[in-house]
Amino acid sequence: MKRCGLYLRVSTVDQHPETQLYDLRGLAAQRNFEIVHEYSDKISGSKAKRPSLDQLLCDARRGRFDVVIVWAFDRIARSTRHFLEVLDELNHLGIEFVSFRENIDTGGPLGRAIVVIIGAIAELERNLIVERVRAGMRRARLEGRQIGRRPLDVDRAAVLRDRAAVLRDRAAGKSITQVAQAHQISRSLVSKIVAQSHRLPGSHEGVD
């Protein structure tokens, strides 16, 4: 017999969790699960602090149960990102996740496939964040702004290489827009680098 934890949440103190609890207890009995604990929060869905959810995750790490049953996806998480984080942690702990309303069970083949898809989405999101950070650091470096501790000689060399690459692309006939896209910087920064580096007296860099 698998051990399970039930989690339910209502949005305000005026609502009662009995309806959700009735459905979750019924689902647990139908699947012959042993209910080891029932976790309940009475709090708005947008609030970050959820004492009972925190306790559920703490007990999950201690191996108190094998399955978590919720009434619906939006009951357990305040956002899509938060839901992905909770589901990912339960998956890594080897704990099945069952949602009553969406009829999702990660113990079955369809549920496991959904976990794989969700994991891929989460990984993509992490990669996009990394790329945005790298692009921001690259732009800061081109603008001559210091990142973190005092830059070393190798950092100054990197700045010179980046500026030289911008100038080479511009000299090769690429438009300001093309150069900006290639180096993930703004068009105005490209114009600034070109103007500061090798603008000749009387010459003019047009904006296309």
Cβ neighbours around 69 below 10 Å, total: 25
Q: How far apart (Å, rounded) are the C-alpha atoms in residues 1 and 113?
A: 24
DSSP-derived secondary structure letter, 199: P
On whether the CB atoms of residues 169 and 178 are closer than 8 A, the answer is yes
Task: From the candidates 11, 40, 175, 186, give the one annotated as an active-site residue.
Answer: 11
Phi-psi region of 35 (alpha: psi -120 to 50; beta: other; left: phi over 0): beta
Cβ neighbours around 99 below 10 Å, total: 20
Q: Is 11 a catalytic residue?
A: yes
- Residues annotated as catalytic are 11
